[in-house]
Amino acid sequence: MTPTLRLFELVDGKTRTISFSPAVWRAKFALNHKKVTYESVPLTFLEIPTAIPSACPNVTAPTVPTLQLESGQGLPDSLAIAEYLEEKYPDRPLLFGKSPSEKNLQRFFESYVQSKIHPAIQRMVFQDMYDMQDAENAHYFRMSREKSSGRPYQEIAGDRNANLRELKENLGLIHTALRSGGWILGAQPGWADFVLMASFVWFNACSPKDFKEGILEGFDDQVIPNYWIKVQQYVY
């Protein structure tokens, strides 16, 4: 029997069924786009440091996503996973396009999403991500976020209305780019789309009400809702 690829991903601590990490979803979109079969291995925050090195001894700084290859080696980081898939399956739908310039453009878009879209979403989902955890994972989540942000728990989420305004403003250019009805770079989806949609999946998985208001109802047309519907073929 051919060994199965295994994708280690982050899930909530209470039900262990909600996959919400945008980094993980980038990898899942890449695998699904390439039509590669894999086994999902759900982990909570506190399980990551031991479960991944136990399965993949070469991974000394465990994080999600990590893809365990047929050799048993672990490949961490969504971009590294996507690049591996692009090289291994060049005859399947492309992730980065046909030229280095296309890849560079998609990487630029990735940077835009991370710097302009993620911050507002991160603040808006903070409380809901905390509420999704069991007691031990909730404690870890709170302490780690307070440490990384340098702010007390009560201040991390910020003002909801200000977050929504920031999100809409920074989505404006993306909304304009999608008016043609295609994907970010044209007729076919690619890494840029999956980076953006991973952030949407994250937002919707944690805070569906805010996602609806901030993303699906952010503009007075169906451009982004239609885009959201179209990408569902890769959500599984």
Domain span holding position 140? 100-234
Q: How many domains does the chain have?
A: 2
Report pTM. 0.96
Give the per-residue pLDDT at 146: 95
95 in a domain, yes or no? no
Give the per-residue pLDDT at 234: 96
The CATH number of the domain holding residue 189 is 1.20.1050.10
In tens, the pLDDT along 78-97 reads: 999 999 999 999 999 999 99
The CATH number of the domain holding residue 37 is 3.40.30.10
Contacts of 142 (CB under 8 A, 6+ apart): 130, 153
In tens, the pLDDT along 103-142 reads: 999 999 999 999 999 999 999 999 999 999 999 999 999 9
Phi, psi of 157 (to 5 degrees): -70, -30
185 in a domain, yes or no? yes
Residues of the chain whose pLDDT is less than 70? Answer: 1-3
Query: Under a CB-based contact definition with an 8 Å cutoff, are residues 199 and 110 in contact?
Result: no
Domain stops at, among 61, 88, 115: 88
Domain stops at, among 57, 88, 119: 88
Give the per-residue pLDDT at 3: 52
178 in a domain, yes or no? yes
DSSP state of 73: -
**CA-CA distance, 174 to 150, in Å (whole number)?**
31
